[in-house]
């Protein structure tokens, strides 16, 4: 499993209120949520994001509310993987459960800049910064998680079992 | 090596004698909770699983509280969806407008959680019930769906940090100040993935309402759960609210703690979190002059009866600052009624505050008090992230009901000690 895209880089403690503001939570339509993804932290995000692009952020990504709408908005907006130094625990759970790939790799976060082109190999846990010509090693995805992500999340995975 | 009370509760619900930090386990759930934002997504997922009925209709609670009474057509549709699901599934604990309240105040009040329980909720502040010596934590909608179907949820057993609270807090220092102080100290990811366990002689000075406030905010330090040892106060509360049988779990003497903090409660000052993170704390002596447009008193953090008593006590017979908007929202109908009977609502309205029906409303920038660009609010809620209460360029300051009420009188962040000592804002002196 490999993905490639351009990086949107953010800082520490990106919370679920800026990923998808509560004022849009009167719907659970993923397409509508995706239109407002990252709006309060990066007003141009939805105009610029292309399918396959990658979010790279600091520590405690996804802190705050338990809204699954947050990873759902990110995934539906086209983001292929989120790389962060650490994730808040509910976001971590939710991302896995809905099949949004996430990786913890402080070393990659420290080196990757906004706009860099990056390639991720989930099986090997390898992150390649094509722009800078460097690679970083994260924990490879356990098989279970790879299966879960290709199934499109926990529920699809369970119902296929 | 012994186990913490959290680890013991999880082990007992996984059918295991022992567990240790880091272990992945499947746990039986005593209560699954959802609200009007997270339940619609959970229902979608639940229907994909293909199970006709929830695992136990008495162990699911659904509380429409975020955008209720319905704020707009979309919210009305969401609430209709969950109402129909609750009816169809014969969910025992579905709370319609009129019976409802903010979920984390309502669930304990209804006696649905007792010590030793495992509760998951598709709402991050589900951690509130740790105040009752239960394991409770927030999850997402998919977890809620799977738990509604199977009555189980997977967990990684958390390690723990212990906070030993000693001494007696000052008159204007409540659970809110203590938990803000702690978050300021350890940071918004200071307890990531771990339990925060409270202990020490100082606990006896902390009311149940103060403890609910503290457990409510452990998620703001990234914790998986917060938990209080079961003492007489907890047992009295539970006996007053519930007929359910319960089990008391105690941490072993040799339980492992990754860190231990000793905190002297008599050194804690009224504390305020500045924008845009709960960890940006300053004591009331360090806040300087911050002029406010709005004061909000309420939420699952501080909308309980004691909070309203403190606020009404400070505001009674006085007037809120001219031009300031003061919004009070009691957390449940019962609390509302009690406040009414005690004359608190009258005191608040006479002072110039508005009192809302129980709802999450302004806390998450939903409705009933949204901020415009550049506006500043002081709130007794739990989060002050960018845009939390409205415009992305508005600001939220977090504090206790006492600080909120004192600030309501002056229009700037104010130490309650100053109000009471100087009689600022006293109508009779004007
Ligand atoms: S009052 Fe605020 S923090 Fe509490 S459940 Fe409602 S929105 Fe969440």
Say if residue A113's pLDDT is above 50.
Answer: yes
Q: Select from B63, B68, B102, B278 the residue to mutate for testing ligand 1; criterion: most ligand atoms less than 8 Å from CB.
A: B102
CB B367 within 8 A of CB B380: no
pLDDT in tens, B125-173: 999 999 999 999 999 999 999 999 999 998 889 999 999 999 999 999 9
Interface of B with A in 371-390 (CB under 8 A): 383, 385-388
Of B223, B58, B12, B11, the residue nearest B128 (C-alpha): B223
- The arithmetic mean of pLDDT across residues B285-303, rounded, is 98
Q: Where are the alpha helices (DSSP H) in B110-261?
A: 141-150, 175-186, 208-216, 232-241
What letter does residue B53 receive in the DSSP assignment?
A: S
CB B313 within 8 A of CB B218: no
CA torsion B205-B208-B209-B215 (nearest 10°) is 100
Does A146 score more than 90 pLDDT?
no
B18 inside 8 A of chain A by CB = no
Which single residue is written with the structure tokens 């700037």?
A: B412
CA B239 to the chain's CA centroid? 21
A45 C-alpha to ligand 1 centroid (Å): 27
pLDDT at A20 over 70: yes
- pTM exceeding 0.90: yes
> Is pLDDT at A141 greater than 90 in this prediction?
no
Set of chain A residues whose Cβ sits within 8 Å of the Cβ of B41: 28, 68-69, 72
Residues whose CB is less than 8 angstroms from the CB of residue A23 and which lie 6 or more positions away in sequence, other chains included = B365, B366
- Backbone φ and ψ for A10, nearest 5 degrees, come out as -130, 170
Residues of A in contact with B37 (CB under 8 A): 22, 25, 67, 69
Atom of ligand 1 nearest to the CA of B298: 1
Cα nearest neighbour of A61 on chain B: B189
Q: What is the dihedral of CA A26, A30, A31, A32, to 10 degrees?
A: 10
* B376 in contact with ligand 1, CB cutoff 6 A: no
Does B190 score more than 70 pLDDT? yes
B299 ligand 1 Cβ < 6 A: yes
What CA–CA distance (Å, rounded) separates B42 from B149?
11
Q: Is residue B209 scored above 50 in pLDDT?
A: yes
pLDDT beyond 50 at B114: yes
Quickly state the pLDDT bin for A31 (edges 50, 70, 90): very high
- pLDDT band of residue B329 (cuts 50, 70, 90) is very high
- What DSSP string describes B251-278? --TTB--SEEEEEEGGGPPPEEEPTT-T
User: A147: Cβ–Cβ under 8 A, 6 or more apart, which residues?
Assistant: A157
Q: What is the pLDDT of residues A37-93, one digit of tens each?
A: 999 999 999 999 999 999 999 999 999 999 999 999 999 999 999 999 999 999 999
For the segment B237-265, the average pLDDT, to the nearest whole number, is 98
Residue B209, beta-bridge partner list: none
> Quick check: A65 and B123 CB within 8 A?
yes
List, for residues B151-160, the tens digit of each pLDDT value: 999 888 999 9
Q: Are B411 and B321 in contact (CB under 8 A)?
A: yes
How many angstroms separate the first and last alpha carbons of chain B?
Answer: 65
Nearest CA to ligand 1 atom 4: B300
Report whether pLDDT(A161) > 80: no
Q: Where residue B428 falls among pLDDT bands split at 50, 70, 90? A: very low
Minimum-distance ligand 1 atom for the alpha carbon of B301 = 4
Any idea of the CA torsion for A70, A75, A77, A83, to the nearest 10 degrees?
90
Nearest to B3 by CA among B186, B290, B255: B255
Alpha helix ranges (H) inside B15-95: 39-49, 73-88
Q: To the nearest whole angstrom, how far is the Cα of A132 from the nearest Cα of chain B?
A: 30
What percentage of chain B carries pLDDT values higher than 90? 94
pLDDT tier at B426, thresholds 50, 70, 90: very low
Q: What is the ipTM of this complex?
A: 0.89
Residues of A with CB under 8 A from a CB of B: 13, 15, 17-18, 21-23, 25-28, 39-41, 59-60, 63-69, 72, 86, 88-90, 93-94, 97-98, 153-156, 158-159
pLDDT of residue B80: 98
* Residue among B163, B413, B407, B408 at smallest CA distance from B273: B413
- Chain A nearest-CA distance from B224, in A, is 7
Task: Tell me the CA distances in angstroms from B195 to A60, B132, B154, one per residue in order.
Answer: 16, 15, 16
Mutate to test the interface with A, among B27, B80, B140, B361 (most CBs of A within 10 A): B140
Between B222, B364, B388, which is nearest A60 by CB? Answer: B222
Query: Is the Cβ pair A66, B124 closer than 8 Å?
Result: yes
């Amino acid at each position: 499993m490999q993905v490639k895209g351009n990086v949107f880089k953010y800082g520490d403690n990106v919370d679920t209120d800026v990923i998808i503001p509560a004022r849009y939570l009167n719907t659970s339509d993923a397409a509508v949520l995706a239109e407002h993804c990252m709006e309060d932290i990066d007003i141009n995000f939805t105009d610029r994001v292309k399918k396959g692009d990658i979010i790279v952020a600091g520590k405690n990504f996804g802190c705050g509310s338990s809204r699954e709408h947050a990873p759902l908005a990110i995934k539906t907006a086209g983001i292929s993987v989120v790389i962060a130094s650490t994730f808040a625990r509910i976001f971590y759970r939710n991302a896995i459960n809905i099949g949004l790939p996430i990786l913890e790799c402080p070393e990659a976060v420290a080196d990757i800049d906004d706009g860099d082109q990056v390639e991720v190999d989930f099986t090997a846990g390898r992150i390649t910064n094509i722009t800078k010509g460097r690679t970083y090693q994260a924990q490879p995805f356990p098989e279970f998680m790879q299966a879960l992500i290709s199934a499109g999340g926990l529920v699809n995975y369970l119902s296929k079992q | 090596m012994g186990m913490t009370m959290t680890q013991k509760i999880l082990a007992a619900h996984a059918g295991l004698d022992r567990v240790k930090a880091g272990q992945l386990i499947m746990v039986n759930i005593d209560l699954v909770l959802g609200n009007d934002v997270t339940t619609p997504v959970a229902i979608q997922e639940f229907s994909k699983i293909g199970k006709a009925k929830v695992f136990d209709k008495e162990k699911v609670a659904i509380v429409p509280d975020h955008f209720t009474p319905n704020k707009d057509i979309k919210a009305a549709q969401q609430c209709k969806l969950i109402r129909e699901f609750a009816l169809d599934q014969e969910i025992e604990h579905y709370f319609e407008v009129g019976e409802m309240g903010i979920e984390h105040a309502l669930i304990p009040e209804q006696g649905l959680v007792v010590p030793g329980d495992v509760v998951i909720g598709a709402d991050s502040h589900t951690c509130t019930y740790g105040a009752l010596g239960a394991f409770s934590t927030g999850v997402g909608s998919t977890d809620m769906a799977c738990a509604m179907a199977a009555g189980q949820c997977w967990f990684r057993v958390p390690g723990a940090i212990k906070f030993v609270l000693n001494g007696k807090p000052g008159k204007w220092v409540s659970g809110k100040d203590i938990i803000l102080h702690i978050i300021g100290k350890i940071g918004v990811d200071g307890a990531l993935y771990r339990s925060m366990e409270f202990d020490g002689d100082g606990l006896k000075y902390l009311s149940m309402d103060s403890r609910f406030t503290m457990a409510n905010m452990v998620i703001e330090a990234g914790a998986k759960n917060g938990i209080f040892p079961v003492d007489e106060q907890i047992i009295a509360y539970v006996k007053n609210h519930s007929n359910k049988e319960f089990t008391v779990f105690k941490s072993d003497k040799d339980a492992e703690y990754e860190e231990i903090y000793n905190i002297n409660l008599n050194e804690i000052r009224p504390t305020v979190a500045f924008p845009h993170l709960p960890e940006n704390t300053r004591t009331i002596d360090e806040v300087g002059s911050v002029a406010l447009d709005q004061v909000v008193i309420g939420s699952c953090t501080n909308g309980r009866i004691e909070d309203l008593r403190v606020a009404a006590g400070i505001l009674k017979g006085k007037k809120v600052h001219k031009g300031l908007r003061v919004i009070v929202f009691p957390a449940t109908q019962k609390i509302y009624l009690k406040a009414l009977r005690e004359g608190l609502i009258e005191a608040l309205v006479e002072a110039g505050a508005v009192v809302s029906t129980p709802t999450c409303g302004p806390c998450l920038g939903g409705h009933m008090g949204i901020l415009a660009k550049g506006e500043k609010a002081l709130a007794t809620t739990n989060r002050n992230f960018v845009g939390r209460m409205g415009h992305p360029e508005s600001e939220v300051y977090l504090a206790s009901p006492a600080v909120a009420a004192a600030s309501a009188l002056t229009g700037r962040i104010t130490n309650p000690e100053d109000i009471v000592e100087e009689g600022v804002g006293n109508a009779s002196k004007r």
